[in-house]
């Protein structure tokens, strides 16, 4: 995974409650075996009309949301099934950070395991950010090392992140990397184990 330190980007607002993983990436697109290429199918039923053209009323199709790297969502984001394809689709769509009041537990873990940073914030703070996004060119900076969100207008707020996942994201590690860091010990164990059966 790519290390995550700081990110400055625009915010795409999808302020809907209980957005489930089937809405994030509908089931008919789960036949692929790669982790990439899901972005064009994200929010498919909301994002497109039946003829395949973009629905201009869908929040993330609006001009101000184009190219956003930060997604602002509503309560219980990522509920429903545990499909890991949901964070894959959001990442492939260009998002690096999600801001929401709460998340489904498995979705939250799947995001972290795939390098996507889910941040929980109070609804009042999110309301402030939503208001700020109405200004042209508004950008928000996410500083993982400092655990702060800030902009150029004096807005700043701290956020919590589990120290284990903070380290993993800062250094671009995943759980396979952690295992491989102990490759010599694993090899020693395997050699000794084989020897006991000979």
- Compute CA distances 65 → 9, 10, 169, whole Å: 11, 7, 25
Q: How confident is the model at residue 74 (pLDDT cuts 50, 70, 90)?
A: very high
Radius of gyration of the chain (CA): 19
* pLDDT(180) > 60: no
The tally of CA atoms less than 13 A away on the side-chain side of residue 110 is: 21
Give every strand in the sheet of 70-73, ordered side by side: 11-14, 70-73, 97-100, 117-120
* pLDDT(76) > 90: yes
Residue 140 · residue 113 · CB < 8 Å: no
pTM of the predicted structure, to 2 decimals = 0.89
For 148, the 3-state DSSP assignment is strand
The reported pLDDT for the residue numbered 108 is 98
**Average pLDDT estimate for 85-111:** 97
Q: How confident is the model at residue 190 (pLDDT cuts 50, 70, 90)?
A: confident
Which pLDDT tens digit goes with each residue over 119-177?
999 999 999 999 999 999 999 999 999 999 999 999 999 999 999 999 999 999 876 66
- Sorted by sequence, the CB contacts under 8 Å of residue 120 that are 6+ apart come out as 100, 101, 102, 103, 159, 160
* pLDDT(182) > 80: no
The reported pLDDT for the residue numbered 175 is 67
Q: Which residue has the higher pLDDT, 174 or 178?
A: 174
The reported pLDDT for the residue numbered 178 is 63
Which pLDDT tens digit goes with each residue over 5-33?
999 999 999 999 999 999 999 999 998 88
Neighbours of 88 (CB within 10 A): 23
The reported pLDDT for the residue numbered 128 is 97
* pLDDT(34) > 80: yes
The reported pLDDT for the residue numbered 187 is 73
Q: How confident is the model at residue 185 (pLDDT cuts 50, 70, 90)?
A: confident
Chain Cα centroid distance, residue 67 = 15
């Amino acid at each position: 995974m790519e290390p995550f330190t700081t990110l400055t980007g625009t915010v795409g607002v999808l302020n809907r409650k209980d957005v489930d993983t089937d809405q994030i990436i509908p089931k008919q697109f789960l036949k692929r075996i790669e982790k990439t290429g899901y972005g064009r199918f994200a929010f498919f039923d909301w994002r497109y009309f039946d003829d395949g053209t973009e629905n201009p009323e869908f929040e993330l199709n609006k001009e101000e949301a184009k190219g956003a790297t930060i997604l602002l969502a509503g309560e219980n984001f990522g509920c429903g099934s545990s499909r890991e394809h949901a964070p894959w689709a959001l990442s492939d769509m260009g998002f690096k950070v999600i801001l929401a009041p709460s998340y489904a537990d498995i979705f939250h873990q799947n995001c972290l395991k795939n390098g996507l940073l889910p941040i929980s914030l109070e609804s009042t703070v999110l309301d402030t950010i939503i208001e700020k996004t109405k200004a042209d060119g508004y950008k928000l900076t996410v500083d993982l090392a400092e655990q702060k969100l800030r902009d150029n207008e004096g807005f700043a707020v701290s956020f919590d992140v589990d120290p284990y996942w903070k380290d993993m994201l800062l250094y671009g590690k995943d759980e396979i990397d952690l295992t491989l860091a102990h490759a010599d010990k694993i090899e020693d164990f395997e050699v000794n184990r084989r020897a006991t059966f000979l």
